Amino acid sequence: MTAPVDLLAQIGHTPIVRLDHLDTGPCSLFVKLESQNPSGSIKDRIAVSMIDAAERDGRLKPKGRIVEATAGNTGLALALVAARRGYHLTLVIPDKMSREKIAHVRAMGAEVVLTRSDIGKGHPAYYQDLAQRIADETGAFFTDQFNNPDNPIAHETGTGPEIWEQMDGRVDAVVAGVGSGGTLTGLSRFFARVSPQTDIVLADPKGSILADYVTSGRIGAAGSWLVEGIGEDFVPPVSDLSRVTHAYTIPDGESFATARGVLRQEGLLIGSSSGTLLAAALRYCREQTSPKRVVSFVCDSGNKYLSKMYNDFWMADQGLSNRPRFGDLRDLIA
């Protein structure tokens, strides 16, 4: 057994496991369990990276205030680091976000500013613009993950080298999604240096503009999707998608079916974006004609989605399963 350690020192150094039971064609498919970070997602890495950098250059003073525009995993990760280091945190959250997510970040000590969801970029109440204004007016540090270079740096200097070491320098492809683009950008910069032949594979939800942008250079009209944390209706400024070699557009139904299959067959409870990543990884694997070592991620745990994609009735409500809306209870306990 090892001696007690600081919680923030537990960020990163996540294990990689091989998926043994899925049909991966000629490939071996590995996942890095980012769900094992202390606040439960891959976002712990960028929270500590962005805050460390701001502490170093004085943008963030002791007992200062941090502002971000999110109700997602970045909010939880920032709340963790803020609590440990004695900072105040304000999260600007669009009012369409689930009550559970808002309650969760509040319980972690964040001050929540709710704003309208029905407006776009440029409107003063748009959540990104409002976060910027609050930071300007209060002198707080706006982490601004969509524009902050310390986001991809966390993956270029942390996630990438960890994968390289854990995989003994043999990685034929990495598969990631894009929310802010930090993961994919950092990984593609790291692999361009150590292994430029490694394929960089984008997994994008249907409705997002990114896969089409990568393959055609066009920015089309965005649709909507149910997978959380990845897919965008714009190209995040911090992202660099120039090294993407393959891009797959994955419908929600395929993401959810993949996640449910991973739970049944591998015993891993993965989140919805990880379903998209693994669906794309499986498509890539099945297209290969020679053995390849493919690495992807469990970005967060499926706990958050038990009443959504792991719930048959919710799936039926979304038109994603044939199960009748009013199911037979005997079925559930059989």
Query: Which of 273, 280, 285, 295 touches ligand PMP by CB under 6 A?
Result: 273
Q: Which of 32, 43, 101, 206 is catalytic?
A: 43
Q: In degrees to the nearest 10, what's the CA dihedral of 122, 125, 127, 132?
A: 80
Strands lying side by side in the sheet with 111-115: 111-115, 88-94, 65-68, 141-142
**64 or 256: CB nearest ligand PMP:** 256
Q: Is 43 a catalytic residue?
A: yes
Least distance to ligand PMP, CB of residue 59, Å = 21
Site string for ligand PMP, 210-239 (x = CB under 6 A): -------------------xx---------
Provide the token pair at 200.
Answer: 């960089």
For ligand PMP, which stretch binds (CB under 6 A), given 114-122, 167-175, 178-186, 305-313?
A: 178-186
Taking CB under 6 A as the rule, does residue 72 contact ligand PMP? yes
**173 or 187: CB nearest ligand PMP:** 187
Strands lying side by side in the sheet with 16-19: 16-19, 28-33, 293-298, 173-176, 199-205, 246-250
Query: Which of 14, 73, 148, 258 touches ligand PMP by CB under 6 A?
Result: 73
User: Which helix (H) or strand (E) element contains residue 254?
Assistant: helix 252-266
Residues 1-40 that bind ligand PMP (CB under 6 A): none
Give 105: exposed, middle or buried? Use CB within 10 Å, 0-12, 13-18, 19+.
buried
Encode 46-62: b = buried (16+ Cβ within 10 Å), e = exposed: bbbbbbebbbeeeebee
Least distance to ligand PMP, CB of residue 272, Å = 7
**Residues in touch with ligand PMP (CB under 6 A):** 41, 43, 72-73, 177-183, 229-230, 271, 273, 299-300
